[in-house]
Structure 1
Amino acid sequence: MQLNAWALTGLVLVAAMTFYLGHRSSRFANTTHDFLVARRTVRSRRNAAAISGEYLSAASFLGVAGIVLKEGANGLWYPIGFTAGYLALMLFVAAPLRRSGAYTLPDFIEARLGSVVLRRCATGFVIVIGILYLVPQLQGAGLALTTVLPSVPPWVGALAVTVIVVVNVLAGGMRAITVVQAFQYWLKLFALAVPAFVLCAVFVSGGHPGPAGALGSPAPPQFAADTTVKIDADVNLRVNTVTPVAVRGPGETADRMVVWAKSATEHVPKGTVLRFEAGTPVPAVTAAVADNDDWLRPGNNGLSDLLQTYSLILATFLGTMGLPHVLVRFYTNPDGKAARRTAVHVLLLLGLFYLLPTLLGAMSRMYVPQLLVTGQTDAAVLLLPQSVMPGVGGQILTAVVMAGAFAAFLSTSSGLVVSVAGVVSTDLFKGRVPDFRWATALVGILPAVLALTMRPSDLSLSVGMSFALAASTFSPVLVLGIWWRGLTWPGAMTGMIVGGGLVLTALVVNTVGGYTGWHLPWLADQPALVTVPAAFAVTVLVSLGTRAGRPADVNAVMLRLHAPDPLGFMRDRAVARFGQVESRHRAGRGKHRK
């Protein structure tokens, strides 16, 4: 692919607009109250757009289409779960969380259970979840940049996103990024809606299926023309029919013809170049669904597929309420009613958005089937426009998509950096504005280093592990802490450690398996079906056995969480200890509960 000047222009414009909006908003950020929660003055509609902007990450913009291309009907549970998680958040968490008056998730946990030790444990898990979520955003930025601009190395994309995000957050924290994220939601919606409508119009007006064949055909997709595929990472390909292919291995100077046997699994090392003749069925990586017939039918692998689907549903439904960068935005609402209204608006905005990557993922199977060979299905949305419309029109649509993808990396990374930096600055430092800025630099640098050194994986799968960790640690504490008076701090901490420990064990096994090529059970990819019930059960059982750990003022706290806003029981926990002396009068109203 040649250099796409349109795409480069789009990236520059997105970066410039992000800097401008962030700088314009940061002029009003003076206190820690501004940096952490934007002075709690963000109204529901703008907050909903900002939440949608930061929530629609690389996994949503690129990963959903890639999962649909690779897994078909099974992959639809990702957008469904990503959206439905806000229904659970709206029903059980949003309004009481805002009424707690907290500034961060560990702050809420201490306010509810009165334990500094538990707060420190929660801080550790917030940092781990934030970094685990940030790494695929930066890796996605590198993938997107090298896909559209092949001469640019992947580290440039990761570094560019890191620099822009850190500079914006340093300037004004939550106050600076709120308008930026709201703008970036509408940009992402536009960046997928325009290509989707144009490409669908081209497809329908053509009156025939894509060059790789119709989706209703039971056979695998076929290469429409002689196709050369370069393998950028070691893959194992499943071959469904006898397949002749010209192979040039790493370090070889000439092609050699080989014939892959039917039903064989071929290991292809990184750096190999494969040449397929027109009409050859497309071999697929072992994790992908090869036949269109199976692609259209969910649960085609029997019980393991069913259990993995339930595990994914549990992780995404309950994991949303435990994501620190999502929860921190509800602290910016004026009151509990506005927080609940924000969640309703988010459901509408997400439902509208997720129609588009699902559609583009289905079209990608007809137009860019070569991605099933390389395994880099996350690039489907970026390569689809020029595959359907070669020429300037396709380049312009690619530039629009690339601008939206870059906005996705920036908005999600901004929310994660703000939320994790807020926790680090208030829990590990003294919580002043300079401490927030130091924390921002640290939180931005560490994920960038990991993104450049770790092995990339599918974006949706990486983010799915973050959801599983959030669902297994913070979901039990939030649901039980808000709705059950009997929760104790030993129960909450034990449940967090058990649930989080199990997920992190699965993550380590999955990472090692990716390097060694081990065949891993489905639990290594989606452990939530085991870890979430285990976390809830341990939390309840230990709480029942440690009644002395129940805070003395639990009735007063529960009244504050559930009393209607007009009654006036809501009190914001004081932020004065986080700010300078001259800013205390402007910073907050309530007393900080010891």
Structure 2
Amino acid sequence: MASIVLVGVVTFYLGHRSSRFASSTHDFLVARRTVRSRRNAAAISGEYLSAASFLGVAGVVLKDGVDALWFPIGFTAGYLALMLFVAAPLRRSGAYTLPDFLEARLGSVRLRRFATAFVVFIGILYMVPQLQGASLALTNILAAPEWLGAVVVTAVVAVNVIAGGMRAITVVQAFQYWLKLFAIAAPAFVLCGVFLVGGGPPTSGALSSPAPPTFTETTTVDVQTDVTLQVSTLTPVTVNDQELPALWLPDEQYQVGEGSTLRFPAGAAVPVVAGAPADNQSWLIPGDGDLTDLLSTYSLIFATFLGTMGLPHVLVRFYTNPDGKAARRTTVHVLLLLGLFYLFPTLLGALSRLYVPELLVTGSTDAAILLLPSAILPGVAGKIIGSITAAGAFAAFLSTASGLLVSVAGVVSTDVLPGRVRDFRVAAAIVALLPMGIALGIRQEDLSLSVGMSFALAASTFSPLLMLGIWWRKLTWTGALAGMTVGGTLVLGALVANVVSNYTGDWAPWFTGQPALFTVPAAFLTTILVSLASSDNVPPDLNAVMLRLHAPDPLGFMRDREVARFGKADERDEPRPYKVKVVKGSKRGRHRK
């Protein structure tokens, strides 16, 4: 508890301290575009390493084995595509938000409004699992009510964002990356050391053994939500208050209702949620040789590789760099920071299969990192390590939710409201309440899987527009609108079908959970065909815009777009247009590496 409170207090302090320097909309939206590369890289990494990264990756590795490695690979590799194709031209565009970039490139107010709706939806969809993760963390650590984590994170984040916007959260997110790295690396080193020297309790078996993991002692599992289980060998189990244990058979599925109690004797095989590898041999082998599994993997690759460049809260941080060169350098640093981080949740996920296999029964695998320290090190040492991981998890919820709230509030305040500082604050308050209500009202799924749907939506809507808008001269606003409509509609249709299926018997096919393999090509193809058919809608200033996107920074073609509704925090000054010209040798735009 003390570590979580400390993270909250430090987060509030840093945000409050930085917010004193935020006076105009320019500060609230893009931190005056003066954030240096290394700090921005740490802030992007802190924002990007969400609940899905800190908790979800280890949980999916625990459940799915080597197939889950595509999540950290895809989450990281997405920045390679972002660096090669998007980062520098996007910053040179001078835009303040993603819809602002689309209007600057294609000259359509209608497209900008349509893009605004998708930015808001993606931001809220991504914020929901952060709040659910916070509830999961506090429930497992403090036995707190399920609603408490979501409310606490929403309150802390909303206060910081309302006070100072992007200027306030930049330092907060950079600090939280290093906190998260320490909070996951230090426990990983300690717990691996205990495992290697043979300390700690007995394991559930060797990962190299083809047999399923087993319970090392008589174990009682409380099931908190309806779950379907399967086993790979004959498994004795006592359900609720039965006097004699039942015998579960392999190749059968067993429905267990919420509130049930399962008791397994020592040496019994650990059941798993239906669809997960039931034995270690399957857990260690990628795929199952089935075409559906292969297509699902490729769909995940499409979503994570291309979805990163379409996430509004990621893109908005590149607007804070002084120029395109700094944006590209920032992305290189992000690749290094993310690659370092993702080594540790993967390792902890494998250890979790040895020490907390009971999570495979309940399906609550996202709690693996939180429960693993106490399982390996009972007593004070385990509690200390557990408090460190809890602090890192809470930092993950705060940093990602902060970035999402800033990006969505910025779009709402400039495209829906008049655009002054007070409008940003009103938008932030409204946007903060929406995902909190959703998180408290819907069933919690695997965090990585729910975040994966956000990536699929971003990859199917904004990724085609950015790639083609930056590199293809024939793109038109009608083609962009059609592609976004087709891609977004297909993903949202899959999302609705998947949610309904979860409550009505899991009847939906696999691609409703991973639709990007079909939705991304459909979006690209629609955008290209409609653009070719509407060539009359190519904007008249195309040459000037493309020159600005691709000309080297020292040539001085970069111009920041005007936002005529800038205002002071105290609203005493008249709003004035704001222009920035980055010229070689000028003081404005200079920054440290």
TM range (shorter): over 0.9
1:585 Cα deviation after fit:
6.0
Q: Does 1:218 align with 2:218?
A: no
Within a 5 Å distance, the mapping from 1:99-110 to structure 2 comes to: 99-110=92-103
For residues 449-469 of structure 1, what are the alpha-carbon distances to aligned partners after superposition, in whole Å with 9 as ceiling and x for unaligned?
Answer: 000001110000000000000
1:361 Cα deviation after fit:
0.2
Instruction: Judge conservation of contact 1:98–1:330 (CA < 8 Å) in 2.
Output: yes
CA distance in 1, matches of 2:187, 2:202: 16
1:302 Cα deviation after fit:
1.5
1:575 Cα deviation after fit:
2.5
CA distance in 2, matches of 1:225, 1:304: 37
Instruction: Judge conservation of contact 1:31–1:587 (CA < 8 Å) in 2.
Output: no
Unaligned runs of 5+ in 2: 582-593
Q: Which moved more, 1:23-32 or 1:520-529?
A: 520-529
SS in 1 for 2:245: strand
Q: Does 1:195 align with 2:187?
A: yes
CA distance in 2, matches of 1:262, 1:184: 45
Instruction: Judge conservation of contact 2:566–2:578 (CA < 8 Å) in 1.
Output: no
Instruction: Judge conservation of contact 1:576–1:583 (CA < 8 Å) in 2.
Output: no
1:518 Cα deviation after fit:
2.0
CA distance in 1, matches of 2:59, 2:574: 48
Instruction: Judge conservation of contact 2:495–2:512 (CA < 8 Å) in 1.
Output: yes
**What is residue 3 of structure 1 aligned with on the other side?**
none
**What is residue 186 of structure 1 aligned with on the other side?**
178
**What is residue 271 of structure 1 aligned with on the other side?**
259
Instruction: Judge conservation of contact 1:245–1:260 (CA < 8 Å) in 2.
Output: yes
Within a 5 Å distance, the mapping from 1:357-436 to structure 2 comes to: 357-436=345-424
**What is residue 300 of structure 1 aligned with on the other side?**
288
Letter in 1 for 2:222: K
Q: CA separation of 1:274/1:582 partners in 2, compared to 1, >3 Å: closer, same or farther?
A: same
**What is residue 19 of structure 1 aligned with on the other side?**
12
1:66 Cα deviation after fit:
0.4
**What is residue 539 of structure 2 aligned with on the other side?**
551
**What is residue 443 of structure 1 aligned with on the other side?**
431
**What is residue 558 of structure 2 aligned with on the other side?**
570
1:335 aligned to which of 311, 323, 343:
323
**What is residue 37 of structure 1 aligned with on the other side?**
30
Q: Does 1:582 align with 2:573?
A: yes
**What is residue 140 of structure 1 aligned with on the other side?**
133
Q: CA separation of 1:255/1:449 partners in 2, compared to 1, >3 Å: closer, same or farther?
A: farther
Instruction: Judge conservation of contact 2:563–2:577 (CA < 8 Å) in 1.
Output: no
1:179 Cα deviation after fit:
0.1
CA distance in 1, matches of 2:561, 2:23: 19
CA distance in 1, matches of 2:64, 2:367: 15
Q: CA separation of 1:121/1:559 partners in 2, compared to 1, >3 Å: closer, same or farther?
A: same
Moved beyond 4 Å, runs of 4+? 207-210, 253-256, 583-587
CA distance in 2, matches of 1:262, 1:131: 41
Letter in 1 for 2:38: R
CA distance in 1, matches of 2:284, 2:249: 25
**What is residue 155 of structure 1 aligned with on the other side?**
147
1:556 Cα deviation after fit:
0.5
Instruction: Judge conservation of contact 2:200–2:376 (CA < 8 Å) in 1.
Output: no
Within a 5 Å distance, the mapping from 1:384-533 to structure 2 comes to: 384-533=372-521
TM-score (norm 1): 0.96
SS in 2 for 1:419: helix
TM-score (norm 2): 0.96
1:80 aligned to which of 55, 73, 90:
73
1:515 Cα deviation after fit:
1.1
- Percent of residue pairs identical: 70
1:207 Cα deviation after fit:
7.6
CA distance in 1, matches of 2:259, 2:387: 28
Letter in 1 for 2:397: F
**What is residue 539 of structure 1 aligned with on the other side?**
527
For residues 492-524 of structure 1, what are the alpha-carbon distances to aligned partners after superposition, in whole Å with 9 as ceiling and x for unaligned?
Answer: 000000000000000001101111122332101
**What is residue 165 of structure 2 aligned with on the other side?**
173
1:254 Cα deviation after fit:
6.0
Q: Does 1:205 align with 2:193?
A: no
Q: Does 1:318 align with 2:306?
A: yes
Q: Which moved more, 1:187-196 or 1:568-577?
A: 568-577
1:233 Cα deviation after fit:
0.6
Instruction: Judge conservation of contact 1:25–1:176 (CA < 8 Å) in 2.
Output: yes
Unaligned runs of 5+ in 1: 1-7
For residues 10-66 of structure 1, what are the alpha-carbon distances to aligned partners after superposition, in whole Å with 9 as ceiling and x for unaligned?
Answer: 001000000000000000000000000000000000000000000000000000000
CA distance in 1, matches of 2:489, 2:312: 18
Within a 5 Å distance, the mapping from 1:342-353 to structure 2 comes to: 342-353=330-341
CA distance in 2, matches of 1:233, 1:511: 16
What value does the CA root-mean-square deviation take over the aligned residues? 1.4
Q: CA separation of 1:330/1:166 partners in 2, compared to 1, >3 Å: closer, same or farther?
A: same
**What is residue 227 of structure 1 aligned with on the other side?**
219
SS in 2 for 1:246: strand
